[in-house]
Structure 1
């Protein structure tokens, strides 16, 4: 059993982070000479203009049909009510949904959906402090859990495993990022969720995909209630935690 993190309620500490529209105006004005000449020609000839014979419209080709279909406006993908109502910030939804799509390709047997990942994100960091990220998912202010030096009730001592590279502490470990991974767990499951070539626990897209990979370990199938519970207990061994995660997931 590989513990994800030792604390149920994480204390979050912060560090300083970080058409055209063109209008085409066209107009044509006849010269004074043209305006004078036009009526004179008609009067000299005494000819009344005749309407042109009606012509049948040219048949529509398959190519024209395909082009017309391509130019039709495409409706944007539907946004869940939980997103439109602000329960899940849009950037978080994009990250959770991207993780679901990635897992559907790499680990289809798991059948994990974005709502379960969102449940984890809600419990761990309130969706990265309500989506306080840049557009690429990088957190504006990094999120850290408490130092695991045994001083907090209920916390065991976890000595440093990453030389302080991820958590800024070279003596003890602490959970990092919006999904609160211990450095050792992150190193094992880390994923690049936004395709920038990096695996950053303080990036929402990377953290969401890493969470999905962690939950889908041991050949679980998230369509089964028992497997969902098993997976979440691996994330944090508490039935209260499981109830919270699944409750939020259902609400989304």
Structure 2
């Protein structure tokens, strides 16, 4: 299994998203120590619903209009990309692209559609829909916490908790790449908006921008990599059993699968799921 899975610490409510103050450097965004399938809280659902009520349909139509063949970053480089986390300037501006379905950042919406289009060419039998990648992105990082620049980079790097066994329920995962992607030297942690362990990311790395580089922090690259990971082995997302098998590569839990598919349906239909429809483990 390429992904770590996590159970929540007993002192925290299930479904909470917490900042691990003191465990990571300042200026770094961390994902919750809770299971990724539990990241969708009633509070966030209410926020999404409010955005929906404020004009999701108009925003979705505007975002769709901006995502055309001319704006897609189709891969143009032959051979595997160079995998690296590129250092970026501080104080970059948040992208101003029109919001996508249910208020997701327009850049994230474009990245998922871009990944769908590339995969339709490279792995046509997989039938990967952009909405499934959006479901993964919602659960793993709330679409990069809604803060992306125009190129698809989070305004601050996104890291999971250090997998050294110190947090309740977390696996112990030794570092595999000397910290090149996750900044760690002894133990690994997941990286980027789609939350890959470095070793797994390197295996499936996708160049979603067509520049010969794959950066796990970039949502174009990370979403394409997630699609390649889910499609591995000839799986077909139109088959529900194969779809479930693919999603369980992220988290071997049917509750996680149900959460992903609840958000997949939500983004595809524009109807925000109720908190009661999002199971916890």
TM-score (normalizing by structure 2): 0.63
Q: What is residue 205 of structure 2 aligned with on the other side?
A: 190
3-state DSSP of counterpart to 1:206: helix
Change (3 A) 1:123 1:77: closer
- For the 8 Å contact 1:121–1:179, the answer to whether it is kept is yes
Q: Measure, in 2, the Cα distance between the counterparts of 1:219 and 1:11.
A: 37
Change (3 A) 1:11 1:229: farther
Q: What is residue 4 of structure 1 aligned with on the other side?
A: 3
Gaps of 5+ in 2: 9-16, 29-61, 68-97, 268-281
Say which structure is richer in helix: 1
Gaps of 5+ in 1: 18-74
Q: Measure, in 1, the Cα distance between the counterparts of 2:128 and 2:108.
A: 16
User: Aligned match of 1:100 in 99, 107, 116?
Assistant: 116
CA drift of 1:3 comes to 3.2
Change (3 A) 1:143 1:115: same
- The answer to whether the aligner puts 1:116 opposite 2:115 as a matched pair is no
Write the deviation string for residues 207-250 of structure 1: whole angstroms up to 9, x where unpaired. Answer: 00000000001111111111110100112111111111000000
96-105 vs 195-204, which moves further: 195-204
Residues paired across the two proteins, number: 192
3-state DSSP of counterpart to 1:155: coil
Write the deviation string for residues 58-89 of structure 1: whole angstroms up to 9, x where unpaired. Answer: xxxxxxxxxxxxxxxxx995589x95564321
Change (3 A) 1:14 1:137: farther
The aligned runs of 1:1-252 (5 Å cut-off) are: 2-7=1-6, 16=27, 77-78=64-65, 83-84=99-100, 86-130=102-146, 132-252=147-267
TM-score (normalizing by structure 1): 0.70
Change (3 A) 1:77 1:142: closer
Change (3 A) 1:151 1:77: closer
- For the 8 Å contact 1:89–1:127, the answer to whether it is kept is yes
CA drift of 1:134 comes to 1.5
3-state DSSP of counterpart to 1:140: coil
Q: Measure, in 1, the Cα distance between the counterparts of 2:63 and 2:106.
A: 14
Max Rg structure: 1
CA drift of 1:4 comes to 1.6
- For the 8 Å contact 2:153–2:217, the answer to whether it is kept is yes
Q: Measure, in 2, the Cα distance between the counterparts of 1:76 and 1:211.
A: 22
Q: Measure, in 1, the Cα distance between the counterparts of 2:226 and 2:155.
A: 20
- For the 8 Å contact 2:2–2:199, the answer to whether it is kept is no
- For the 8 Å contact 2:208–2:224, the answer to whether it is kept is yes
- For the 8 Å contact 2:152–2:218, the answer to whether it is kept is yes
3-state DSSP of counterpart to 1:219: coil
